[in-house]
Amino acid sequence: MILARVVHDLLYEQPNAEARLRTIRTSLGLVGALSMYGLPPAEFVTAHRPDFEQAGVTERALPACTYRWMKLAGAGFGLASARGNSAGLTFAAALTSGAASHTSASLFRRLWTYDSHVAALMLLASLPLPVHDLERRRRASMMIALMQALIGCVYAQAALSKLHNDPQSWLRTGDTLRGSVAILGTPGARKFLNYPKIFPALSIGAVAVEAVVPLAVLGGPSVQRYAGMAALAFHGSTAASMRIPFWHLASLLPAIFIHRNRRERVDEGSPK
């Protein structure tokens, strides 16, 4: 009964949902546009697709020319949708950037599709809002809740994979983290290699953050805000230690988990 109430509030009672949805679309548009810049150049697709086909490692994807246009269109629609008030532009950005991202991932089937959440989030953010006020709020609230669930799922997957594939290292020895810092670490982080005993604790801490964020989605606005800040700090530390900011996820956390506008704060302080 309590869980049903929590899920209902999470889905349909997100505070100030419409204004937050605009902020989320803005963040997503900018992230989507910038992520197009990070994809491989079309020349790479043209040059190596025959090699990958011959090696039997490629899957069906767009031709290089279409890929180039999808990248440009993805960046353009992403920037245009950053105004935050057009579901149509967000939808166009989701389709074009998704097509470019799919081509990059399909070119070589072992390529990890580790930023496909951006297209999935854009698709959710592009649902049209109904005309009726109450239904608009409910739909906007549901969209935010589903985006929170999607991001929570990413962290849950990261924790699950570590516990499933390498529990000994992530819960006891810390060897995998230590080895990763050795080969990828920044000069500052490499200094910690002289203190191998701290890596088990750091490993457990990393898995703990990844496991707690999904649970915090159910915890209401305040808990979500703290979880979002913890996750941001986590990404900050991986950026500082290994130059892996996971920015395409981290930069969405303020809009989806942390941001609350002035009206909401005033409402919280006033009598119920």
Partner 1 sequence: MRIMGAHTRNARADGMVLALTAVYLLNQVRHTWQRRKRWPFCSYDMFSYPLGTRFPQPRVQLLDDIGATEPMPVYGLLPVEFFRTVAILDEIFYECSDEALQDRFADRLLWRLNERPWRGFDEVRASVRPRTLTGWTGLRLLDVVIDLADYDAEIDGPLHDVQPFYSYRWAA
Nearest to 39 by CA among 65, 71, 80: 71
Measured distance CA(58)–CA(180) in Å, rounded: 28
Q: In the window 117-136, what residues touch partner 1 (CB under 8 A)?
A: 117, 119-120, 124, 127, 130-132, 135
Sign (positive or negative) of CA dihedral 147, 152, 155, 160: negative
76 contacts partner 1 (rule: CB under 8 A): no
Residue bearing tokens 């999607």: 150
Q: Does 240 bind partner 1 (CB under 8 A)?
A: no
**Quick one: which of 63, 83, 113, 172 contacts partner 1 (CB under 8 A)?**
113
Considering only 17-25, 81-89, 110-118, 256-264, which stretch makes contact with partner 1 by CB under 8 A?
A: 110-118
Which window, 83-91, 146-154, 220-228, 261-269, contacts partner 1 (CB under 8 A)?
Answer: 146-154
Task: Report if residue 223 touches partner 1, rule: CB under 8 A.
Answer: no
Helix (H, G, I), strand (E, B) or coil at 40: coil
Closest CA to 138 of 3, 21, 11: 11
Q: List the interface residues with partner 1, window 165-184 (CB under 8 A).
A: 165-166, 168-170, 175-184
Residue 22 within binding range of partner 1, rule CB under 8 A = no
Quick one: which of 106, 171, 218, 240 contacts partner 1 (CB under 8 A)? 106
Cα–Cα–Cα angle for 107, 113, 117, rounded to 5 degrees: 135
2 binds partner 1 (CB under 8 A): no
Q: Which of 60, 110, 197, 272 binds partner 1 (CB under 8 A)?
A: 110
Is residue 218 involved in binding partner 1 (CB under 8 A)? no
Tokens read off for 81 = 């949708």
The tokens of 4 are what?
A: 């049903």
In the list 5, 6, 8, 38, the residue contacting partner 1 (rule: CB under 8 A) is 38
Q: What gap in Å lies between CA 116 and CA 133, rounded to an integer?
A: 32
DSSP 182-217: HHH--HHHHGGGG-TTHHHHHHHHHHHHHHHHHHHG
Q: Which of 6, 8, 43, 215 binds partner 1 (CB under 8 A)?
A: 43
198 scored as a contact of partner 1 (CB under 8 A): no
Q: Minimal distance in Å, beta carbon 230 to partner 1?
A: 18
Side-chain-side CA neighbours of residue 18 (13 Å): 14
